[in-house]
Amino acid sequence: MHNTDYTIAVIEDDPIQLETLVTALQQQGFSVEAFSDRASAESYFEQTLPDLVISDIILGQEVDGGFDLAKRLLSYNQPIPIIFLSERQSEFDIYTGHALGAIDYLPKPISLNVLIVKVKNLLRITASSKEQAASGKEQSVIDHLEIEPSQYKAFWYGKPLDLTATEFEMLRQFATTGEGGVVTYDNLQSSTQGVVERNTINTHICRIRNAFKKITPDFNLIHNEYGRGYSWQHKDED
């Protein structure tokens, strides 16, 4: 697909920053819808859902406006990847952003070059998932684990796992590799089109484990294979 096939919604209350973001994305050929507040963006979403959302967290007088916007997006049946842009870089804010479905959380002032690369990678991920789901080529070979690539959703014993889209892509590597096989660091990075950096893979794996533990507290099936990656298997310890 070409960049012109994608629509990106940008929500930023600073008019200069908003214009800068819109111009940079349009120069790459993307169709861009720009909003300066949460309410106008939500009105747009009621009519049309974009392929990707880029949002500041503080929107006008709403200190958590971007987070509230993400909560609204979660109410739709179609997963929409979100990139948060913010000067707020506390662990709590970053965790909250990811818990609400954010794919990435970039600090301000942002690098437009980095943002453009992230956007292109994320859109490749979503397009690839939709194509694979349509072809019916992928399904989980792990007992009690179900995956729905078109929706970026996974189910453990029939209950939904709380995962971001990138974490879903990483889990899908285990689901299709099966028990006992090693999912390498390179596999995990390539599955997210480079969105997940090598030095943050373990953080995402911890979040994936915790998602399983919310359903089965004694979950202990994803193990570190030192120097190689991770495996899904029954064993007493890493």
Residues 147-198: pLDDT tens digits?
887 667 789 999 988 887 778 889 999 998 999 899 999 888 887 766 677 7
Please choose, from the candidates 108, 107, 55, the residue with its C-alpha nearest in 3D space to the C-alpha of residue 83: 55
Q: Specify the pLDDT at position 238.
A: 44
pLDDT less than 50: residues of the chain: 135-137, 237-238
Q: Specify the pLDDT at position 93.
A: 64
Kindly report the pTM of this predicted structure: 0.59
* Domains assigned to the chain: 3-128 (3.40.50.2300), 138-232 (1.10.10.10)
Q: Specify the pLDDT at position 111.
A: 87
Give me 103's structure tokens: 């794919």
Residues sharing a CB contact under 8 Å with residue 148, sequence separation 6 or more, in sequence order: 133, 154, 155
Q: Specify the pLDDT at position 35.
A: 97
Give me 193's structure tokens: 């089109």
Q: Specify the pLDDT at position 45.
A: 93
Q: Specify the pLDDT at position 101.
A: 60
